[in-house]
Amino acid sequence: MDLGIRGKKGLVCAASKGLGRACAEALAEAGVDLVVNARGAEALEATAQEIAARHGVAVTPVAADITTGEGRAAVLEALGGQADILVNNAGGPPPGTWTDWSREDFIKAIDANMLTAIALMQALVPGMMERGWGRVVNITSQSVRSPIAVLGLSNTARAGLTGFVAGMSRQVAPHGVVVNNLLPGIHATDRAVSLDSGVAKAEGIGLDEARRRREATIPTRSYGRPEDFGAACAFLCSQQARFMVGQNILLDGGALNVSV
């Protein structure tokens, strides 16, 4: 399927590896010129070069912490202040227990997984509205639908972003801007290895056994593949997604038993 977005300009945040990288790959395959971001310069440069070489699009790496004002300013400068497509992403907060988290922990999580995405939408969506076309995908989590107790910091921040998008996406839709959230269940990335390592340690089992036990809880009996996640993201950025507004789309292999 031709997604109809060849020649558009996009920003993918937190994209040197994992789900962000997969979104960047899929958008590049559709012909989108990209600015990609992550903190670690070396891995980011290599990712940008690989994607550009494979798909023949321009890929500009900006090594910066996207959760800081300076980081966002650097990324926006590389874009010349405008983009047609925005994929919001950042690392997830650490697990823990509800009694452990301080005000500072909450502020950090809310900054990373709520306010950063909102700031980038506030910076880039007005230009999309003026030009009459735009697409935004916020990578959130299945925990928005079914909160995971040990990920309370993530639950809190992502619930706030979800509420914001529910209102804002309807306000910008008349101007041709489509905003949606993509909710990953467990996917085979470094984040999954780190979550499984935590389980392995807590349960006194090996990493493989922790993964096997988690896979057994998923109807597909396997972890999601980043490339499939990226393809879903690219579709949400396509011309054909014009009628999908303000949705929270779950990619979890059927793990959550939700009827709507």
Binding region for ligand NAP (CB under 6 A): 14-20, 37-40, 43, 65-67, 89-92, 139, 141-142, 184, 186-187, 189-192
Q: Which is nearer to ligand NAP, 14 or 26 (CB)?
A: 14
Q: Report the nearest approach of ligand NAP to the CB of residue 213 (Å).
A: 15
Q: Which is nearer to ligand NAP, 181 or 238 (CB)?
A: 181
Q: Report the nearest approach of ligand NAP to the CB of residue 40 (Å).
A: 3
Q: Which is nearer to ligand NAP, 63 or 173 (CB)?
A: 63
Q: How many residues does the chain have?
A: 260
Q: Backbone dihedral region of 101: left (phi > 0), alpha (psi from -120 to 50 degrees) or beta?
A: beta
Contact 43, 34 (CB under 8 A): no
Q: Report the nearest approach of ligand NAP to the CB of residue 22 (Å).
A: 8
Q: Report the nearest approach of ligand NAP to the CB of residue 109 (Å).
A: 10
Q: Report the nearest approach of ligand NAP to the CB of residue 94 (Å).
A: 10
Q: Which is nearer to ligand NAP, 2 or 190 (CB)?
A: 190
Q: Which is nearer to ligand NAP, 229 or 235 (CB)?
A: 229
Q: Report the nearest approach of ligand NAP to the CB of residue 30 (Å).
A: 20
Q: Which is nearer to ligand NAP, 45 or 209 (CB)?
A: 45
